């Protein structure tokens, strides 16, 4: 059963209402032995929004999600869901009384219960009448495209179907908050895309607040109203996917959200959030972070979308221009066919750029020019350690 076909136009008739709950996390701290998983995290999530916590493994995102669920207990700090304080000094509301739902990475379906029973379990707390409960379970299973699978057991379903049961269990009770713990990480690429669409649509239709964690920036940008990027137990940046991509606050955020590469150079001028960066004979006039000062060594981060391949002019391979959108001399190192076109790896002399896209294929070893869109670059002080995708 196709996931797309399960999302029907009559969705709006079933259990759709605005009732999301806000989340307020203040100075959340949590350690496991000597490892600090959360180092004073603050997070505000508005009611009814879809927020994605994005971070590499070990960044603390799972701990934060589990603390909000009530599965983990904070060492310090507080969590409120709507007006209710659920975690604070001396307060810990157990998970079953937080009125939320959750989709787990390993699905966490109960193997001794049928699909219908698994989904219906989440209605037990609401004291829903058995006839009403059966009706809602059937409706919800139909919404996720599993109407015919109610009497099956989890082990009789495929991975994608199992995760859809978990999704149905999460939305059947119309909770005010749904937590997603990397729900797509165990699925193959095609299924991920289908289920991502289902999660996005069904969650938004339900009106619930959604908090979703992932280490995949593509998934995060595709799903989120707002993204919060976590690194080593601290939130580094929050904002819309667009703002984070255009103006990463730190080199880590820039790297984690996708770079073609980076060059090191010297800031020949810096003022008003912009800087001129000299790298070899090339000059770039680019947005700069606050720490960039005139004469300082800087790292120029280049998004894949900032790059464009051009043929060399005549026989001389020299940089074409300086300043706003310079084109720098390069050579094609490798080429990979991506369906819509080709991703190239190019050696620019200053460094390697990857994922340089063109609709036509360039030959390995071929000289070329890479034109760089300065507005899609960002300069940071060079001292930042290279610890991007750890």
d(CA 124, CA 219): 32
Distance CA 307, CA 316 (A): 21
Residue 66 or 350 having the CB closest to other proteins? 66
Contact between 71 and other proteins by CB under 8 A: the answer reads yes
Q: How many residues bind other proteins (CB under 8 A)?
A: 43
Which range in 84-92, 130-138, 218-226, 248-256 contacts other proteins by CB under 8 A?
84-92
Give the nearer residue to other proteins in terms of CB position, either 62 or 217: 62
Helix axis angle, 159-172 relative to 189-206, nearest 10°? 10
Which of 36, 42, 75, 88 is in the footprint of other proteins by CB under 8 A? 88
Q: Does 104 bind other proteins (CB under 8 A)?
A: yes
Taking the C-alpha atoms of residue 57 and residue 239, their distance in angstroms, rounded to an integer, is 21
Question: Does residue number 169 form part of the binding site for other proteins (CB under 8 A)?
Answer: yes
96 binds other proteins (CB under 8 A): yes
104 contact partners, CB below 8 Å, separation of at least 6: 166, 181, 183
End-to-end CA distance of the chain: 37
Report the distance separating Cα 248 and Cα 236, nearest Å.
9
Residue closer to other proteins by CB (options 151, 264) is: 151
Q: Is 310 in the site for other proteins (CB under 8 A)?
A: no
Q: Which of 125, 313, 324, 364 binds other proteins (CB under 8 A)?
A: 125
Determine, following the binding rule CB under 8 A, whether residue 173 of this chain makes contact with other proteins: yes
- Name the residue nearer to other proteins (CB basis): 211 or 253: 211
Instruction: Based on the shown chain and the rule CB under 8 A, indicate whether residue 82 belongs to the binding site for other proteins.
Output: no
Choices 41-49, 116-124, 344-352, 364-372 (CB under 8 A): range interacting with other proteins: 116-124
Q: Which of 22, 49, 114, 312 binds other proteins (CB under 8 A)?
A: 114
Residue with tokens 């939130």: 235
Closest approach of other proteins to the CB of residue 372, in Å: 44
Cα dihedral sign, 175-177-178-181: negative
Taking alpha carbons only, the member of 373, 382, 378, 376 closest to residue 264 is 382
With the CA atoms of 357, 359, 363 and 364 taken in that order, what torsion angle do they form, in degrees rounded to the nearest 10? 20
Q: Which region among 1-9, 118-126, 131-139, 235-243 touches other proteins (by CB under 8 A)?
A: 118-126
Contact window for other proteins (CB under 8 A) among 87-95, 281-289, 294-302, 356-364: 87-95
Between CA 165 and CA 149 the distance in angstroms is 9
Q: Which residue blocks in 235-292 are alpha helix, DSSP H?
A: 241-246, 251-256
Residue from 54, 179, 223, 328 binding other proteins (CB under 8 A): 179
Does 255 sit near other proteins (CB under 8 A)? no
Of residues 102 and 259, the one with the C-beta less far from other proteins: 102
* 44 touches 24 (CB < 8 A): yes
Q: Does 108 bind other proteins (CB under 8 A)?
A: yes
The least CB distance from residue 297 to other proteins, in Å, is 44
Q: Counting contacts by CB under 8 A, is residue 322 touching other proteins?
A: no
CB 373 within 8 A of CB 260: no
DSSP string of 101-125?
Answer: EEE-TT----TTS-HHHHHHHTTGG
What residues numbered 27-66 form the site for other proteins, per CB under 8 A?
A: 32, 66
Shorter beta-carbon distance to other proteins: residue 121 or 357: 121
CA distance 232 to 247: 21
Q: How far is the CB of 154 from other proteins (least distance, A)?
A: 10
Q: Does 183 bind other proteins (CB under 8 A)?
A: no
Nearest distance from C-beta of residue 225 to other proteins, angstroms: 23
The answer to the question of residue 83 lying near other proteins (CB under 8 A) is: no
Continuous H helices in the chain: 3-6, 61-69, 115-121, 130-143, 159-172, 189-206, 217-223, 241-246, 251-256
Instruction: Pick the closer one to other proteins by CB: 94 or 218.
Output: 94
What are the beta bridge partners of residue 79?
A: 25, 87
Q: Which residues contact other proteins by CB under 8 A?
A: 32, 66, 69-73, 85, 88, 90-102, 104-106, 108-114, 117, 121-122, 124-126, 153, 155, 169, 173, 179
């Amino acid at each position: 059963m196709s996931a797309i076909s399960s999302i029907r136009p009559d969705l709006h008739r079933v259990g759709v209402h605005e009732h999301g709950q806000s989340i307020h996390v203040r100075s959340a701290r949590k350690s496991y032995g000597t490892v600090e998983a959360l180092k004073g995290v603050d997070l505000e999530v508005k009611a009814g929004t879809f927020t994605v916590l994005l971070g590499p493994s070990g960044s603390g995102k799972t701990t934060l999600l589990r603390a909000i669920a009530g599965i983990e207990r904070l060492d310090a700090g507080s969590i409120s869901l709507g007006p209710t304080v659920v975690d604070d000094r001396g307060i810990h509301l157990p998970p079953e009384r937080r009125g939320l739902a959750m989709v787990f990475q390993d699905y966490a379906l109960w193997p001794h219960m049928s699909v219908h029973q698994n989904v219906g379990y989440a209605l037990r707390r609401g004291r829903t009448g058995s006839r009403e409960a059966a009706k809602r379970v059937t409706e919800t299973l139909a919404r996720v495209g599993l109407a015919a699978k109610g009497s099956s057991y989890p082990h009789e379903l495929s991975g994608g179907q199992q995760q859809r049961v978990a999704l149905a269990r999460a939305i059947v009770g119309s909770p005010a908050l749904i937590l997603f713990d990397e729900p797509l990480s165990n699925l193959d690429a095609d299924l991920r895309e289908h289920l991502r669409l289902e999660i996005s649509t069904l969650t938004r239709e339900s009106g619930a607040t959604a908090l979703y964690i992932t280490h995949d920036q593509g998934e995060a940008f595709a799903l989120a109203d707002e993204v919060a990027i976590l690194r080593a137990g601290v939130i580094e940046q929050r904002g819309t996917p667009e703002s984070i991509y255009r103006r990463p606050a730190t080199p880590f955020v820039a790297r984690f959200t996708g770079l073609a590469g980076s060059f090191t150079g010297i800031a020949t001028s810096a003022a008003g959030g912009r800087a001129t960066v000299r790298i070899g004979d090339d000059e770039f006039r680019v947005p700069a972070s606050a720490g960039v000062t005139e004469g300082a060594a800087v790292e120029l981060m280049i998004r894949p979308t900032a790059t464009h391949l051009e043929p060399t002019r005549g026989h001389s391979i020299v940089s074409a221009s300086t300043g706003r959108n310079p084109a720098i001399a390069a050579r094609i190192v490798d080429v990979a066919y991506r369906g819509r076109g080709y991703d190239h790896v190019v050696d620019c002399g200053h460094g390697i750029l990857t994922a340089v896209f063109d609709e036509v294929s360039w030959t390995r070893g071929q000289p070329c020019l890479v034109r760089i869109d300065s507005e899609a670059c960002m300069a940071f002080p060079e001292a930042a350690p290279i610890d991007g995708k750890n």
